Amino acid sequence: MADQFDLVVLGSGPGGYVAAIRASQLGMKTAIVERENLGGICLNWGCIPTKALLRASEINHLLHSLDAYGFAADNVRFDFAKVIKRSRAVASQLSGGVKFLMKKNKITVYDGDGKLTGPGKLSVAKDGKPVAELAAKHIILATGARARVIPGIEPDGEYIWTYREALVPAALPKKLIVIGSGAIGSEFASFYLNMGAEVTLIEVMDRILPVEDEEVSAFVHKAFTKQGMKVMTGAKVQGVRREGGGVTAIVEAEGKVQEIKADRLISAVGIVGNVENIGLEGTKVKVDRTHVVIDEFCRTGEPGVYAIGDLTGPPWLAHKASHEAVICVEAIAGLHPHPLEVMNIPGCTYCRPQVASVGLTEAAAKAKGHEVRVGRFPFIGNGKAIALGEPEGFTKTVFDAKTGELLGAHMVGPEVTELIQGYGIARTLETTELDLMHAVFPHPTVSETMHESVLDAYGRVIHI
């Protein structure tokens, strides 16, 4: 006989476990099915361990820049194995935290692969052996995504890596190629560069970080180059050879073909949804380019089946998955939540320098027919940034010239990933330029660049 629940969640990433907790809070008898580690890719192989690594690389950079602050140290070195070990320990700690939250919220956890077997039914198996049969009126699919594989550049786990292998290398490669300059590619390129590797970043588009504002992309490109990274844009990798204990990438750029040799290569060219082997065959769930199609309340075409997070459409961000989880569960519970406004979701890239944005880029705003007012403020004009020794970067704001609506905000520089939420809140509250002008920003803080950028859009900038 099947175990009975009000809601079953398949996958325990930042979408799945949040959905389970919110459902429990609303009085639903809830189960979650996870085949690997609680917390999913984000906590175990993505967001969290990469930030632990990036923190280590920031410290390494700082230790080699001590003279600028009046300090000196001899024989500065690091133990790369310990750097990796700390990253794994951080991931393990947070995964354990999710396990505690499941117990605290009385959520039943099943260890295994889940698969839809009929209306309101889901089976669980581990290593091919049956674990349980579950029944629930509502089933949320939160199976996430995995790295996209390009023919001819198939990861082998040794010389050609995905994010997984890049997180747990046996040693620091002397030379590294990174294909793809989105958030994942740029973060790994930045980490390995700041740990001492010689890095080549290859992007097929005409600029790196292509979803960001063009000025931000150009700034990061220049910063990466200044740091010693080789950046290639408008470049296509035709193939990769494994030879001599390393790899050789055949790259076409500017009409010429060249070979680039390295010890290792990271492929970071996007993701595909985990839609296989979860029982979608024979259902009314629609899949578009490996991602499940949903409505504004995360409902699929199959009654009683929902989908959230990276399994669905972009943006593929952990915080988007968590917010979708709450919307989905509250809609199931009849609470009438507001649909997710995608343009109010901040995006963050934790390379050096950090990048953060929300809303429309300047080009996108103009393409939508907006007459815009644009403000900019460089960090070199900010006292706190100068005191930190990190005066490179800027804040940019884009407003509708007629209504004063904040259409978008774009930041590059120290800790901007911690600041962008201010603009996210402003957009959610439908704040205008006057509200932002009248807000009092504390001094001295890097957040003052946010205020000055707004002032600059209206000809009232003070400190530049």
Residues paired with residue 121 on neighbouring β-strands, in sequence order: 118, 135
Report the pLDDT value the prediction gives residue 366, as an integer from 0 to 100: 98
- What is the C-alpha to C-alpha distance for residues 352 and 224, in angstroms, rounded to an integer? 8
Identical topology for domains 3-147+272-342 and 160-269: yes
Residue 173: its pLDDT value, please? 98
Percent with pLDDT over 90 in the chain: 98
Q: Give φ, ψ of 261 to 5 degrees.
A: -100, 145
Of 402, 316, 407, 284, the residue nearest 357 (C-alpha):
407
pLDDT value at position 357?
Answer: 98
CATH superfamily of 160-269: FAD/NAD(P)-binding domain (3.50.50.60)
What is the dihedral sign for C-alpha 377, 379, 383, 385?
positive
Q: What is the pLDDT of residue 259?
A: 97
Instruction: Determine contact, residues 167/87, Cβ cutoff 8 Å.
Output: yes
- What 3-state class would DSSP assign to 180? coil
Question: Encoding tokens for residue 262?
Answer: 């390295």
Domain boundaries defined on the chain: 3-147+272-342, 160-269, 353-457
| Rounded Cα gap, residues 218 and 50, in angstroms | 24
Q: Which of helix, strand or coil describes residue 42?
A: helix
What CATH number is given for 353-457 in this structure? 3.30.390.30
At 244 the pLDDT is 87
Q: Which of 64, 291, 370, 443 is catalytic?
A: 443
Angle at 443 between CA 413 and CA 220, to 5 degrees: 5
- When the pLDDT of each residue in the chain is averaged and rounded to a whole number, the result is 97
Of the options 3.40.50.720, 3.50.50.60, 3.40.50.11540, 3.30.565.10, the CATH number for the domain spanning 3-147+272-342: 3.50.50.60
Backbone torsions φ then ψ of 229, nearest 5 degrees: -80, 140
The pLDDT, as a whole number, for residue 339 is 97
Extract the residue ranges of the chain whose pLDDT is less than 50: none
First-last CA distance in the chain: 72
Residue pLDDT, tens place only, 129-185: 999 999 999 999 999 999 999 998 999 999 999 999 999 999 999 999 999 999 999
Tell me if residue 443 is catalytic: yes
